């Protein structure tokens, strides 16, 4: 998502739909709405929302952002998590994911497969 955001230069408020495809283990942690720091820490979707707002996924930002970022709370529920057979086979040696983002203009974009650094 961050790669697409940096490359295309859109603001988080322009996003109307988010879809992340990864392995089963990641997809099952896609908590839509978080209310506590523990839920934020264990979620796949809320850190993605915070990353789009802040440009990073530092644990400190995610934990402290739980209730403070209204835009993060807006983005997190619209983020759908899905799984992919190749990503499932690669896990746990590799943690692959790709993102698809749709903007209010109707423009849709998809990333290549990425792995966390």
Alpha helices in the chain (DSSP H): 2-8, 24-27, 37-42, 45-54, 59-64, 70-78, 85-90
In order of their start, the domains of the chain are 2-106 (3.30.1330.120)
Residue 59 has pLDDT above 90, yes or no: no
pLDDT, tens digit, 9 for 90 and up, residues 1-43 = 999 999 999 999 999 999 999 999 988 877 667 777 777 777 7
Chain Cα centroid distance, residue 25: 14
């Amino acid at each position: 998502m961050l790669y697409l955001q940096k490359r295309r230069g859109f603001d988080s408020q322009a996003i109307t739909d988010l879809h992340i495809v990864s392995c089963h283990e990641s997809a099952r942690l896609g908590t839509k709405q978080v209310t506590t720091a523990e839920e934020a820490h264990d979620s796949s979707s809320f850190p993605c929302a915070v990353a789009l707002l802040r440009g990073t996924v530092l644990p400190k930002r995610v934990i402290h952002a739980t209730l403070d970022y209204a835009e993060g709370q807006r983005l997190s529920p619209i983020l759908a998590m899905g799984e992919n057979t190749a990503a499932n086979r690669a896990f746990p040696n590799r943690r692959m994911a790709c993102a698809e983002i749709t903007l209010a203009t109707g423009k849709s974009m998809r990333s290549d497969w990425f792995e966390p650094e």
